[in-house]
Structure 1
């Protein structure tokens, strides 16, 4: 699955033992030091070159989506362990459901802390 085209990188809530807690932190730090920094430099440079070419050669329909794709991939290139790539529609649905659950939990806490008379 190509990541930037109508996809988003989300935290994987159904992760295995290798992508949770301290192990995830260690693997992400190793990735950051060995591969993350060069990948982010490459994506940032490519994105800036696309924007420069867009300004110089007026290729907005081609260069702008490519530049945005490069900048969109930088967070996952830095710390990929524990991420999952999903379609944008699914990411939006999951975010709205998570917001509903958080609002419901806050309402439940408020109703539990109200004094009963």
Structure 2
């Protein structure tokens, strides 16, 4: 299997790293990776999704960190260059959020954007 390893300029905060490590450790599967992908929908046209996944396709981009790997499909990657992944906990709840310099508009929930 050929994996695409590239410089993606993706940043991830310490809070997000800690939470992803926690979720992966709960699965007790060392092959588990953190997948980010884009789907149509949400308030502004596109929506961020996050899952734990152990499947990797030939067209996936793999970002290897010390503690775990992030997987992004090649179609979603074009929308994710330069993002910062963060994790917040507040009175409204807890969630991963993306700060995306390419997004022209984003909704208040932080999951939806338009380019």
TM-score, structure 2 length as denominator? 0.22
State which structure, 1 or 2, has the greater radius of gyration over its C-alpha atoms.
Answer: 1
Tell me which protein shows more strand as a share of its residues.
2
Task: Give the TM-score taking structure 1 as reference length.
Answer: 0.22
